[in-house]
């Protein structure tokens, strides 16, 4: 059996995957929305068992109700999800 990845390895894998996602997806460049999502996401992440990760949040500029996470604390939230949330 393979040993589990170290946190450093997990973050490196996530960083590489995030660079690919950032190149492929339309990332929203609105500083107000980005700041809001980062603030909300950070507040939630601080309450998890992985609070020590340097969490990174991005908003995908697409009218889709979706979100996904990559290893190491890289979180993507779609604009459509934000628009439909209270």
- The CB density around residue 22, as the number of other CB atoms within 10 Å, is 13
> pLDDT (tens digit, 0 to 9) for every residue of the chain, 86 residues total?
788 889 999 999 999 999 999 999 999 999 999 999 999 999 999 999 999 999 999 999 999 999 999 999 999 999 999 999 97
Q: What is the pLDDT of residue 78?
A: 98
Instruction: Return the pLDDT at 3.
Output: 80
Instruction: With beta carbons less than 8 A apart as the criterion, state whether 44 and 36 touch.
Output: no
Does the CA dihedral 9-12-18-23 come out positive or negative? Answer: negative
pLDDT of amino acid 64:
96
What confidence score (pLDDT) does residue 45 get? 97
pLDDT of the residue at 57: 98
Cβ count near 43 (within 10 Å) = 9
> How many helices (H) and strands (E) are present in the chain, helices listed first?
3, 3
């Amino acid at each position: 059996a393979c040993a589990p990845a170290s946190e450093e390895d997990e973050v490196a894998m996530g960083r590489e995957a995030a660079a690919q996602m950032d190149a492929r997806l339309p990332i929203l460049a609105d500083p107000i929305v980005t700041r809001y999502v980062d603030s909300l996401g950070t507040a939630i992440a601080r309450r998890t068992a992985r609070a020590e990760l340097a969490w990174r949040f991005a908003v995908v500029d697409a009218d889709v109700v979706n979100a996904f996470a990559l290893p190491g604390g890289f979180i993507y939230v779609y604009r459509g999800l934000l628009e439909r949330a209270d």
